Structures are given as structure tokens and as C-alpha cells.
Amino acid sequence: MDKSNNNPARMLEFLLAPMDGLTRASFRSICFDYGADGATTEMIQSLAYGRAKKPMSQTFMEVLVRYPNERNLAAQLIGSDPAAMAESARRLEALGRFDAIDINMGCPARKVVGSGNGAALMKTPDRAVAVMGAVRDATTLPVRLKLRLGWDAAHITAPFLVEQAESMGFESVTLHGRTREQMYLGSVDTVAIRTICDAVRIPVYANGGITCAGDALAFLRDTHAAGVAIGRAALKSPWIFEDIATLRRGGTVAQRRAPERVALLIRLAALTCGHRPENVAICEMRRFCGWILAGLTGYEAVLAGLNHIVTLEAFRALLEGYLDDLEQQGDLELHSELLPEMTLDTVSHRQARRMAKWA
């Protein structure tokens, strides 16, 4: 019997990994348009959500938005109190909006782990199992687990926890091939992921460090995983899911040109205005414009212009005007020499600071 995770009879899956403050319904929706097979909401604090009185806060309402084209969407809970996690799972199921519940055991933020949550559960496996069991028993929805390899090199608990997930009937596991000590830096341990994938039958999605479609396929091959979850690379290239499909068909992928990038950003802004106040949504677009326009001639001027804009109409006018200029110059291609030094880590450092403040 084929015990490997990468069973040819099973469809490989390419998921968008959750990213707090970034992968809301609007961005996920764009990734689904490009062919993502599934996604997860940002993490929801179970202590706060499980006890939230109605009407629910604006923050929860936004995180819980689901757009119609979102397939295979899990709601993610974070917490280490089994009762609060169970209550939150019940509430999420009652919304009738999600396909699964995901448990976060990967968040490395100092204040999160300081209260025993996220990746801290990886060094308290008994508590982790109690949380998993409580959520499992509280809902009839499929339950998923997202975890790291362990707390540090001396505490590699993922093999045990993945086995537990399998024996409790979890639907799948997403495994980030780093420890908490590594945060978002350093190499991803593909061998450790493969060893786990080969030992269990529960689908394992490999995660960490993918930068492009070719990487995703190599990672899949090297880890024997049932699929991959892509985080930061999708922020800069949400079309990565389409590129993966192209490579799998034997095609070649090309850099996306200015018209597609601009259209994508205008659509993302409009979708974000659907779940955030307009001025906040447009302010948030600065980060996405920085990632997606980088490499086009004169994109820095657009970023500077965004500092004075707070409406969708003005955003659209700025970007369409920029595209007209590029068209008139016949300069719609990306110039790799204009790309700033922007690695996956650039995204996480900036965000890590934000998360540290938030946590």
C-alpha cells in the first residue's frame, strides 16, 4: 500500500497560507481567481471570540468575511484554553460559513507564545493534544492543524502531533518546516517534512520558503507532501497558483505585464472596500502596490502619490493614469534591474514588528 503522502491518486493541492493582516477575503479572492485550491482566514483569538458578545466587533466581522469565489476555506483559531477553543469552534460552525476549522500552532510572536498560544503549544504537547481533542469534539466540521517542526532543535514535536492529528481524525495538517526559534528565517528542513509525510496517511501540506512556481513543485517533490501552502510569495505574485498550473502542464511562465498588475490592484482595492472602511482599505493598498508594481518604470512615484489618497475613485484614477503613461511610452514590461532588494524576509520583518505591537 502506498503510504506516501504524495499519493498519485490524490489531487495535489496548492493552498494560500494564512497571514495576519494580509490574507483577508479580498486578497484570498484574488488568489482563488488565479487557481488557489484553498485558504485559511487570519488567526482568530479564541479567548476573545469565544466570549464575544453580540454585536460582534468590527475586527471579528472583517476577519470572518467570506467572498463567493472562496472554495475550501478554513477559519483559524489560536489559543491554548481547550474550553475557549471549543466554544469558538462551535460559534464558527454555527455561522455556517466555513468548510473547516484550523488550529494555529505556528505563530511565533513573542506575546502570543508568552501566553502559551501558537507555537508555544509545540513545547507543551499534552496541552496541544487537549486543545486538539476539545476542538475535534466541539464541531462536526473537519478540523485541520497548522504547526511548525517544533519549538527549537531540541524540541521537535511535530512527528508526535501530526500522528495525534491523524489518530483523532483531523482532515489535514500544514507543516511549516522551521522551528519557532527560527521565526521566519533560515533554511526550511525538507528532510524533516518528508520523514513526517512518509510516516502518516493524513494529507500534509508542506510550507515555508517557496519563492516561485518552480520552487513550489520542487518542494513538493522533495517533501513527498500532498500539496504546498504558499505565504509571502503569493503577496508579491498572487498569480503563482496559475504559474504552478502552467508548469504542471509543461508550459513556461512569463513575468506579468503592467496592465495585469494594475487591473489586479484596482480589483483588490475594490474588494477590500467591501469589508474595510474605504480610507483604511486604500491605505492598506500601499503595501500591495509596493509588492506588485515593483520593477515597473516609475512605480516609486505611484507609491508616493498613494500617500495623499483615501478613496477608491482616486486610487483607480492614479493607477489608470500611471498605466496610460506606461502605454504611451511603450514600457509595459517588468525591469528586473528596477526590482528592489526584496526577499521573503523583508515581508516578515516588517510584519513581525507590526505583530509584536499588536500582540
Ligand X SMILES: Cc1cc2nc3c(=O)[nH]c(=O)nc-3n(C[C@H](O)[C@H](O)[C@H](O)COP(=O)(O)O)c2cc1C
Q: Which residues are known catalytic residues?
A: 107
Shortest distance (Å) from residue 117 CB to ligand X: 11
| 237 sits near ligand X (criterion: CB under 6 A) | no
CA dist., res. 158 & res. 125, Å (int) = 9
Choice between 17 and 122, CB closer to ligand X: 17
Contact pick of 12, 15, 17, 112 for ligand X (by CB under 6 A): 17
CA dist., res. 288 & res. 261, Å (int) = 10
Is the distance from CB of 282 to CB of 311 less than 8 angstroms?
yes
Site string for ligand X, 179-208 (x = CB under 6 A): -----x----------------------xx
CA dist., res. 238 & res. 179, Å (int) = 26
Contact set for ligand X, span 34-53 (CB under 6 A): 42-43
**What count of Cα atoms within 13 Å lies in the side-chain half-sphere of residue 204?**
35
Could you tell me whether strands 143-150 and 172-179 are parallel, antiparallel, or unpaired per DSSP bridges? Answer: parallel
CA dist., res. 80 & res. 88, Å (int) = 12
| 347 sits near ligand X (criterion: CB under 6 A) | yes
Contact segment (CB under 6 A) with ligand X among 18-26, 93-101, 160-168, 259-267 equals: 18-26
CA dist., res. 345 & res. 352, Å (int) = 10
Shortest distance (Å) from residue 110 CB to ligand X: 14
CA dist., res. 78 & res. 118, Å (int) = 6
Shortest distance (Å) from residue 85 CB to ligand X: 14
| 64 sits near ligand X (criterion: CB under 6 A) | no
**What count of Cα atoms within 13 Å lies in the side-chain half-sphere of residue 192?**
20
| 150 sits near ligand X (criterion: CB under 6 A) | no
Side by side, the strands of the sheet bearing 143-150 are 13-16, 227-230, 204-207, 172-179, 143-150, 100-105, 73-78, 39-45
Shortest distance (Å) from residue 277 CB to ligand X: 22
| 6 sits near ligand X (criterion: CB under 6 A) | no
In the complex, residue closest to ligand X by CB: 231
CA dist., res. 22 & res. 82, Å (int) = 27
Site string for ligand X, 289-328 (x = CB under 6 A): ----------------------------------------
Contact pick of 24, 28, 176, 256 for ligand X (by CB under 6 A): 176
| 209 sits near ligand X (criterion: CB under 6 A) | yes
Shortest distance (Å) from residue 17 CB to ligand X: 3
Shortest distance (Å) from residue 234 CB to ligand X: 8
Residue count, binding to ligand X (CB under 6 A): 26
| 243 sits near ligand X (criterion: CB under 6 A) | no
| 177 sits near ligand X (criterion: CB under 6 A) | no
CA dist., res. 261 & res. 323, Å (int) = 10
Choice between 294 and 314, CB closer to ligand X: 294
Is the distance from CB of 11 to CB of 30 less than 8 angstroms?
no
**What count of Cα atoms within 13 Å lies in the side-chain half-sphere of residue 126?**
0
| Helix residue ranges per DSSP H, 226-329 | 232-236, 240-248, 258-273, 278-293, 299-306, 312-329
Q: Residue 55: is the preceding peptide bond cis (ω within 30°)?
A: yes
Shortest distance (Å) from residue 231 CB to ligand X: 3
| 79 sits near ligand X (criterion: CB under 6 A) | no
Q: How many degrees, rounded to 5, is the angle at CA 358 between CA 30 and CA 56?
A: 70
| 106 sits near ligand X (criterion: CB under 6 A) | yes
Contact segment (CB under 6 A) with ligand X among 48-56, 60-68, 102-110, 163-171 equals: 102-110
Rg, Å, the chain Cα set: 20
| 19 sits near ligand X (criterion: CB under 6 A) | yes
CA dist., res. 222 & res. 194, Å (int) = 7
**Which residues contact ligand X (rule: CB under 6 A)?**
17-20, 22, 42-43, 76, 104, 106-107, 146, 176, 184, 207-210, 230-233, 344, 347-348, 351
